[in-house]
Amino acid sequence: ELVKGINGLEKVVLREGRGCSVEVYLYGGHVTSWKNNRGEELLFLSSKAIFKPPKAIRGGIPICFPQFSSHGSLEQHGFARNRFWSIDTDPPPFPTNTTYKTFVDLILKPSEEDNKIWPHSYEFRLRITLSPGGDLMLISRIRNTNLDGKPFSFTFAYHTYFSVSDISEVRVEGLETLDYLDNLEEKELFTEQGDAITFESEVDKIYLSTPTTIAIIDHEKKRTFVLRKEGLRDAVVWNPWDKKAKAMADFGDDEYKHMLCVEAAAIEKPITLRPGEEWKGKLEMSTVPSSYCSGS
């Protein structure tokens, strides 16, 4: 279902059973909402988010491509998050052995203007799927369609903003003992201690070579998000905390208490594709207790 969202920007709404839904803006190929069968919002979206190009939407799941953060010469987090994507009305089907049927495929291809800042031809297919169980699955397929025989390299992140009840009660499991780059410390390499990650100040870290499964445990809401990823070695953990929150025009002063970004990413080792090659990066998110949409 394609409807008009904020400021008349178009969005696709996916629904499963009772209550479960996902909303995706064509602007940015940006998921802004994921609700469970109790109608509870699972993603954070700032009350001050600006739905106006070229500003990227603050919250939900921005797509960082072809550059993560300021790791290169392009604008921060690349340009995919502030381009208009199109819908593939005749997408390739899922393999027949899956039960998935509620999905949309969005496509991004470079415009002539884009080619001036990043001189490569590609097709980016973003498949957003809401499973019968209420899980949200994102699959990115990026193909090098250069005709000049040139390879290209990129970095990537699903910049997911999770909604949490109180950041100081949240714990992240799966990143302990890993090496990380700290964006607040001149990108030096550090090693995390053995305990689960907790939060009491600003954090902006890139964990390297992370396991495929990461959990975000929200004590107060008694909800755990489980992230499973493929093709995405790294994981960014970001919370701006109070000072940076105040400095961001499109973010409420106290909103940092109710969000946490855990971003499945490919940063340390950029992905390189030769013409005709395709890369796939997959992120599956579920909650425990899980949210059954279909059935009784």
- With H, G, I as helix, E, B as strand and everything else as coil, classify residue 115: helix
Does residue 204 interact with ligand BG6 by CB under 6 A?
yes
Choose between 165 and 183: whose C-beta lies nearer to ligand BG6: 183
Write down the least CB distance from residue 215 to ligand BG6, Å. 20
Q: Please, which of residues 262-281 interact with ligand BG6 by CB under 6 A?
A: 263
The first and second tokens of residue 258, run together, are: 């109710």
Choose between 185 and 278: whose C-beta lies nearer to ligand BG6: 185
Choose between 44 and 238: whose C-beta lies nearer to ligand BG6: 238
Write down the least CB distance from residue 148 to ligand BG6, Å. 31
Choose between 79 and 103: whose C-beta lies nearer to ligand BG6: 79
Write down the least CB distance from residue 60 to ligand BG6, Å. 11
The first and second tokens of residue 48, run together, are: 């001050």
Q: Is 67 annotated as a binding residue?
A: no
Write down the least CB distance from residue 201 to ligand BG6, Å. 15
Does residue 207 interact with ligand BG6 by CB under 6 A?
no
Q: Give the one residue of 145, 183, 224, 290 binding ligand BG6; rule: CB under 6 A.
A: 183
Q: Give the one residue of 76, 146, 165, 224 binding ligand BG6; rule: CB under 6 A.
A: 76
DSSP 37: T
Write down the least CB distance from residue 240 to ligand BG6, Å. 7
Choose between 102 and 183: whose C-beta lies nearer to ligand BG6: 183
Task: Give bridge partners of residue 103 from the DSSP assignment.
Answer: 129
Whether the Cβ atoms of residue 187 and residue 96 lie closer than 8 Å to each other? no
How many residues are listed for the chain in this entry? 296
Residue whose token pair is 């990066």: 281
Write down the least CB distance from residue 34 to ligand BG6, Å. 19
Does residue 167 interact with ligand BG6 by CB under 6 A?
no
Does residue 74 interact with ligand BG6 by CB under 6 A?
no
Which residues are catalytic, by number?
159, 263
CA 228, 216, 127, 152 dihedral sign is negative
Q: Give the one residue of 83, 159, 257, 282 binding ligand BG6; rule: CB under 6 A.
A: 159
DSSP string of 189-240, one letter each residue = EEE--SSPB--SS-EEEEE-S--SEEEEEETTTTEEEEEEEES--EEEEEE-
Does residue 77 interact with ligand BG6 by CB under 6 A?
yes
Whether the Cβ atoms of residue 144 and residue 151 lie closer than 8 Å to each other? yes
Site string for ligand BG6, 210-249 (x = CB under 6 A): --------------------------x-x-----------
Give the integer Cα–Cα distance in Å for 15 and 129: 10
Count Cβ neighbours within 10 Å for each residue of 111-128 and write b for 16 or more, e otherwise. eeebeeebebbbebbbbb
Collect contacts of 196-201 with beta carbons under 8 A, ≥24 apart. 196/171, 196/172, 197/171, 197/172, 197/173, 197/237, 198/168, 198/170, 198/171, 198/172, 199/167, 199/168, 199/170, 199/239, 199/260, 200/168, 201/241
Residues of this chain that interact with ligand BG6 (CB under 6 A) are: 56, 69, 76-77, 159, 183, 204, 236, 238, 263
Q: What residues form the annotated binding site?
A: 58, 76, 81
Q: What residues form the annotated binding site for substrate?
A: 58, 76, 81
